[in-house]
Amino acid sequence: MTDSIKRLKELVDSSDNIVFFGGAGVSTESGIPDFRSTGGLYHQEWKYPPEVILSHTFYESNPEEFFRFYRAKLLAPDAKPNAAHKKLAEWEAEGRLKAVITQNIDGLHQAAGSRNVLELHGSVHRNHCQRCGKFYGLEHILRTEGVPRCSCGGIIKPDVVLYEEGLDQGTLEAAVRALAEADMLMIGGTSLNVYPAAGLIRYYQGHKLVLLNKSPVARDLAADLVITDPIGETLAQL
C-alpha cells in the first residue's frame, strides 16, 4: 500500500460524515467518455460544437439534431458501475458517507447502491412530457427514434440540465447542507471548471479535503491529499 493510499485510508477511517463530490472522471472507468479531456466529447467532430447542441436554445430550435447527438453521445445504457461507485455505496451502507454530489447524469451511483445521490445536472433516467408531464424511463427513449413523443403528442424532454438552464433549487440546497455538515470532502473526477456546480465547494468548512483527479484542478484548493491515479483503481485499494 503506497503512502498516499495509507493516508487516504486513515482519513476515511477517522471520518463519519464524508461527502463525495464527483464529475465525469468517475464514470470514465465505466467506459463513458468525459467531456473535456482529450478524446472526450468536446474533441470529436460534429456539425455544431457540443456546447451549442446541449443548450436550451438549440434544443428548442433544432430538436431532431439535439436528440441525434443526445442518443449517440450521452446515453450509455450498457455502462456498469465501477470500483469507485461501489466503494462509495459501501461507505454509505456503513453510515460513513452521507451524500454523493454528482455532475454526472448516468445514474451509475444509484446502480451501485448509493441512495443519497444529489444529481446537480439531472439524469438520463428521468424524462417528462413537456405538455402533460407524464414520466418516461430511459428504456422508452432508447426504443424511440427522432424526437420522442408522448401519447398526448408532446415532446418528451430528458431531465438533464442544459446550458442556459438553471440547476434545481432543492438539489442545490441539499448539496450546500451536506457540504456544510461534512467532516471530510472527497472531490473526484472533476476539474471544477463547470459553474455553478464547482462553486459549491466553498461551503465545506472541514479540515480533511482529498482530491482524486487525473489532471490539475482549475482552482488551487488547499487539499490535504492529492492523488492523480484513476479513481476506481484508487478506491478499490481501500
- As a whole number of Å, the end-to-end CA separation of the chain is 9
Whose cell is 477517522? That residue is 14
CB atoms within 10 A of CB 237: 15
> 85, 109, 121, 125: which is the annotated catalytic residue?
121
> Does 121 participate in catalysis according to the annotation?
yes
H-type helices in 155-211, by residue range?
169-181
CA 183 to chain centre: 22
Query: In sequence order, what are the residues at sequence separation of 6 or more whose Cβ sits closer than 8 angstroms to the Cβ of residue 110?
Result: 117
User: 71 exposed, middle or buried (CB, 10 Å; 0-12, 13-18, 19+)?
Assistant: middle
User: What is the rounded CA–CA span in Å between residue 185 and residue 137?
Assistant: 32
User: What is the rounded CA–CA span in Å between residue 131 and residue 201?
Assistant: 36
Given CA atoms 6, 104, 85, 215 in this order, what sign does their dihedral have? negative
Query: In sequence order, what are the residues at sequence separation of 6 or more whose Cβ sits closer than 8 angstroms to the Cβ of residue 45?
Result: none
* Residues annotated catalytic, as ranges: 121
